[in-house]
Amino acid sequence: MFRALDRFSDLCVVQVDAHLDWTDSYGEFRESHSSPMRRASEMPHITSMVQFGLRGLGSSRPTAFADARQWDSVLVPAPQVHRDGAEAACSLIPQAPCYYITVDIDGLVPSICPGTGSPQPGGLLYDQVREIIRAVAARGPIVGLDVCEVSPPYDWANQTSLYAAQLILDAICFATKGMASR
**8 A C-beta contact, residue 133 and residue 46:** no
Domain of 118 in residue numbering reads as 2-181
pTM more than 0.75 = yes
CATH of the domain at 77: 3.40.800.10
**8 A C-beta contact, residue 106 and residue 54:** no
Cα torsion angle, 177, 180, 181, 182, sign:
positive
Separation CA 144–CA 107 (nearest Å):
18
Question: Residues near 44 by Cβ (< 8 Å), separated by ≥ 6?
Answer: none
* Cα separation of the two ends of the chain: 26
Distance from the Cα of residue 120 to its chain's centroid: 15
Report the number of distinct structural domains present in the chain.
1
pLDDT by position in tens, the chain (length 182) = 788 898 999 999 999 999 998 887 667 765 656 678 999 999 999 999 999 999 966 667 888 999 999 999 999 999 999 999 999 999 999 999 999 999 999 999 999 999 999 899 999 999 999 999 999 999 999 999 999 999 999 999 999 999 999 999 999 999 998 776 75
